Chains A and B, each alone.
Chain A
Amino acid sequence: MNKKREPLLRVEDISITFGRLKALNGVSLEVYPGEVMAIIGPNGAGKTTMLNVINGVYTPDEGRIFFEGMERPLKMKPHHVAAMGISRTFQNLALFRGMTTLGNILVGRSQKMHSNFFSQGIYWGMSEKEEVEHREAVEWIIDFLEIENIRKQPAGMLPYGLQKRVELGRALAAEPKLLLLDEPMAGMNLEEKEDIARFVLDANEELNYTIALIEHDMGVVMDICDRIVVLDFGNKIAEGTPEEIKANPKVIQAYLGTAGG
């Protein structure tokens, strides 16, 4: 893969503090089109914070953010970021619990739906056509993720592993240019992890999604990622291919350090 290409996303020297805690300290990273990239690091390293900065949930104190070669303001409403083509799953379950699987995934398409208030209220005609069209797209995702049998179940009642999978579906439904996954396999058993890993790879290889994910399971990361960025205490301490990262003494130390303390 040619790494000299224009990055899809580039964040430059991002710093953010919470009170006296410097959660990110001048971190730069890139995500290249077509790759699966991983952000790893011990708990509290600032990985989720980085995604929140990208999504516009937090405004960093310093830094610059480029998407598709264009600089965007540091402070942006999250739904405007979504409109640029960035979608996301969450570390902790964040489904809309009272809605069905179908409903949740349909919300993922809200940026793509345009029928106005009155045609929605009248439904018949334009809005119906749009609803059916998007229902078809959502059914495609449901097939892809193999969750046909839970499509009408309330999301809040689903087992943990399936909720994570529906969340992936909701993010895919937006057909984003960049997909951010925050620990998509956390808390899963081996079989569930393998399923998710397969979906991530299929999304990347067959559907051509560009993916940045956070994951703790080093085995999975090594298997599915093209490139890895390592954060520790808000600093980027390493970056490279899985082989390079495995052999990097700083990384080994950071991981051993937390394991020991």
Chain B
Amino acid sequence: MFYRECGVLKETYRQDMAIFPIPLDRWGLGVMLVLAFLVIPFTASDYWLSSIMLPFYCFSLAALGLNFLTGYAGQVSIGHAAFMAVGAYSSLILYGRYGVPLPLSILGGGIFASAAGTIFGIPSLRIKGFYLAVSTLAAQFIIEWVLTHWQWVSGGVFGTVDAPDMYIFGWLIDTPVKKYYLVLCVLILLTVFGKNLVRGQLGRNWTAIRDMDVAAEIIGVSLFRNKLIAFAVSSFYAGVAGSLITFTYYLAANIEEFNLFLSFHLLGMIIIGGMGTVLGSFFGAGFMTLLPIFINQTLLTIMERVPSDIRANSEAIVFGGLIVFFLIVEPYGMARLWQTIKEKMRLWPFPY
């Protein structure tokens, strides 16, 4: 059994347009779901679940959101960490201070982040490229400033809100396994929703705007509407990711976690993983979560003779090098490499 399109006759457009038209993709996805739901939670240690899988999933969600905006719609944002922060703070406040049920609080975090993202997305209607990047940078600083200086937000220590215990309908979510399932379920729901968006009309409009905005508008795509929706959806995903990672992993909303470096990290994830692909967001987030662990635990024990200042910066060096590599050699990232491998197998055994 091989990955191939030959011999698979798609009889209707409906089948051809299915979310995964090729059987082996469906198989692959099935295997991943079994792994994620049934294998990992019962085999991985608590350390792996809570310190690796949780951030991996949350960053995947945030990277996916950024990918909608940057990879699909072509609008750069270097303020996405701040939108995560808005989601984190607002959901914690909704849940902890106002007693809003947890699922609604997480949703609310997404909605507040979405509102912030939409407001800071308004300049994209007039400016693009570098100038838009700078204006989203302003979002990063303004939101950071507001969250640290507005005392109402923390109600005490500036810039910090503790995450209370999580209850869903009276059921305490305390163990790593329970948290893992919570995050996994939200991730899968939002991934399916997002995948449907990008393969449908909205995704086509976004890509059209990215590739040739003037032509898109003349053909009938409203730039105003579609760009703002891109900011809204993108920062909604960031907000939910910020909320989840704070509830399950950081355990307190702290502005330090959502600084400019995280914004750049998220961009790095989608560049390395693959711009304009859903899968690439996961590759990128997985890679960035595993890279530091790999470097710290493996590489450094091998390279004991390397000067310590280089070792301390090795993560940044590898990361930066990879971004440059992908930007120059493979602008579509790991997802495209993966695609190429599949492509090779696709027409097997009749390559031409």
Binding between chains A and B: yes
Chain A interface residues (CB < 8 Å from chain B):
55, 57, 77-79, 81-83, 87-88, 90, 94-99, 103, 106-108, 110-111, 113, 115, 117, 120-123, 127-128, 131-132, 135-136, 139, 170-171, 174
Stretch at the interface among B104-112, B205-213, B289-297, B301-309: B205-213
**How far apart are the CA atoms of A135 and B201 in the complex, in Å?**
11
Q: Is B79 an interface residue (CB 8 A)?
A: no
Q: Which of B13, B196, B212, B217 contacts A132 (CB 8 A)?
A: B13
The answer to whether B201 and A115 touch across the interface, beta carbons within 8 angstroms, is yes
Q: A123-B19, A131-B17, A170-B219 are in contact. Are A96 and B229 (CB under 8 A)?
A: no
The answer to whether B212 and A95 touch across the interface, beta carbons within 8 angstroms, is yes
Number of interface residues of B (CB under 8 A): 33
A residues in contact with B217, CB < 8 Å: 77-79, 82
- Which of B14, B215, B221 is most buried by chain A, counting CB atoms within 10 A of its CB? B215
Taking CB atoms and an 8 Å cut-off, the chain B residues in 19-78 that contact chain A are 19
The answer to whether B196 and A122 touch across the interface, beta carbons within 8 angstroms, is yes
A residues in contact with B205, CB < 8 Å: 107, 110
A213 to chain B, nearest CB (A): 16
B residues in contact with A81, CB < 8 Å: 218
Q: A78-B217, A79-B217 are in contact. Are A120 and B222 (CB under 8 A)?
A: no
The answer to whether A94 and B215 touch across the interface, beta carbons within 8 angstroms, is yes
The answer to whether A110 and B196 touch across the interface, beta carbons within 8 angstroms, is no
Majority-rule SS of B interface residues: helix
Taking CB atoms and an 8 Å cut-off, the chain B residues in 208-266 that contact chain A are 208, 210-212, 214-224, 229
Interface string of B182-215 (1 = CB under 8 A from A): 0000000000011011001110110110111011
The answer to whether B196 and A174 touch across the interface, beta carbons within 8 angstroms, is no
The answer to whether A113 and B196 touch across the interface, beta carbons within 8 angstroms, is no
The answer to whether A110 and B215 touch across the interface, beta carbons within 8 angstroms, is no
Taking CB atoms and an 8 Å cut-off, the chain B residues in 255-298 that contact chain A are 276
A residues in contact with B219, CB < 8 Å: 82, 87-88, 107-108, 110, 170-171, 174
Q: Nearest CB to that of A108 among chain B residues?
A: B219
A residues in contact with B212, CB < 8 Å: 94-97
- Which of B12, B19, B208, B214 is most buried by chain A, counting CB atoms within 10 A of its CB? B208
Chain B interface residues (CB < 8 Å from chain A):
12-14, 16-17, 19, 193-194, 196-197, 200-202, 204-205, 207-208, 210-212, 214-224, 229, 276
Q: A57-B214, A135-B17 are in contact. Are A123 and B200 (CB under 8 A)?
A: yes
**How far apart are the CA atoms of A55 and B216 in the complex, in Å?**
12
The answer to whether A132 and B17 touch across the interface, beta carbons within 8 angstroms, is yes
Q: Nearest CB to that of B193 among chain A residues?
A: A121
The answer to whether B207 and A99 touch across the interface, beta carbons within 8 angstroms, is yes
The answer to whether B208 and A107 touch across the interface, beta carbons within 8 angstroms, is yes
Q: A110-B201, A117-B202, A131-B200 are in contact. Are A79 and B223 (CB under 8 A)?
A: yes
Q: A117-B229, A120-B200, A123-B196 are in contact. Are A96 and B207 (CB under 8 A)?
A: yes
A residues in contact with B224, CB < 8 Å: 77
Q: A94-B215, A121-B193 are in contact. Are A127 and B14 (CB under 8 A)?
A: no
Q: A98-B210, A107-B208, A132-B13 are in contact. Are A127 and B200 (CB under 8 A)?
A: yes
Can you report 5 residue pairs joining A to B where beta carbons are below 8 Å apart?
A: A82-B218, A99-B211, A108-B220, A111-B220, A120-B196
B residues in contact with A174, CB < 8 Å: 219-220
The answer to whether B218 and A57 touch across the interface, beta carbons within 8 angstroms, is yes
Q: Nearest CB to that of A96 among chain B residues?
A: B211
The answer to whether B207 and A103 touch across the interface, beta carbons within 8 angstroms, is yes
The answer to whether A79 and B200 touch across the interface, beta carbons within 8 angstroms, is no
B237 to chain A, nearest CB (A): 12
A115 to chain B, nearest CB (A): 7
The answer to whether B208 and A99 touch across the interface, beta carbons within 8 angstroms, is yes
B residues in contact with A108, CB < 8 Å: 219-220
The answer to whether A107 and B221 touch across the interface, beta carbons within 8 angstroms, is yes
